[in-house]
A and B are shown apart, each in its own frame.
Chain A
Amino acid sequence: DTEVTQTPKHLVMGMTNKKSLKCEQHMGHRAMYWYKQKAKKPPELMFVYSYEKLSINESVPSRFSPECPNSSLLNLHLHALQPEDSALYLCASSQVPGHFSNQPQHFGDGTRLSIL
């Protein structure tokens, strides 16, 4: 079992719905990440939180809104999504933020999101 827990595992929503994805880790990691992965493609970084502050936003549309309420929890709020947003959304965490932290990113199982 992964130490990064994502809920729900599957989500189907309409384009007008509002939903949230949740990611939790209890490893004491201080960097957390959201990735989007389309079928047969590599993961693409969306957001990075470093010590609960947003440090990277890869020009993600505002219909995706991240939130890091504490060091263990990372949310991704979804609103007015488009069919092309259907994908696997992966959360990851690493012990210490930064390029030279010498710690790998640990990934959750992901949430498979389908937009009708």
Chain B
Amino acid sequence: AQKVTQAQTEISVVEKEDVTLDCVYETRDTTYYLFWYKQPPSGELVFLIRRNSFDEQNEISGRYSWNFQKSTSSFNFTITASQVVDSAVYFCALSEEQGGSEKLVFGKGTKLTVNP
């Protein structure tokens, strides 16, 4: 079965620090998809990135960057120069197919607090 592990339960940083959120996954599929979602206190899950298993190129989007390494089954997320607005719970997720539909398996989440 698919599994996603986010070992960091909570992280607290001071504004402008860089922070990396770890994600390790387990799957037997050769083709799979990994995601990061952000959940602010308001509750909505905000999609950040989707990466397929054949694309190991790292990605950068503004202050966000993602490091995908199949060799270590990791998909880590770095926020550069963190801001208070980055405070949220961040979920890493892995998709699996079930009944012709996509099912997301989420990690337990990492709560990030950025202090001014």
Which stretch in B12-20, B62-70, B93-101 binds the other chain?
B93-101
B101–A56 CB distance below 8 A: yes
Answer whether A31 and B101 are a contact pair too, CB < 8 Å, given A99-B95, A109-B44, A112-B43.
yes
Number of residues in B with C-beta < 8 Å to the partner?
27
Chain B contact residues, majority secondary structure: strand
Answer whether A101 and B102 are a contact pair too, CB < 8 Å, given A107-B44, A108-B44.
yes
Nearest-CB distance from B79 to chain A (Å)? 19
In the complex, A59 has a CB within 8 A of chain B: no
In the complex, A26 has a CB within 8 A of chain B: no
B84-115 interface with A by 8 A CB criterion:
91, 95-104, 106-109
B48-92 interface with A by 8 A CB criterion:
50, 52, 91
> Which of B37, B99, B102 has the largest number of chain A CB atoms within 10 A?
B102
B91–A98 CB distance below 8 A: no
- Provide the residues of chain B in CB contact with A101, threshold 8 Å: 102
Answer whether A42 and B109 are a contact pair too, CB < 8 Å, given A104-B35, A110-B44.
yes
A105–B47 CB distance below 8 A: yes
B100–A110 CB distance below 8 A: no
In the complex, A90 has a CB within 8 A of chain B: yes
A94–B102 CB distance below 8 A: yes
Which stretch in A43-51, A60-68, A71-79 binds the other chain?
A43-51
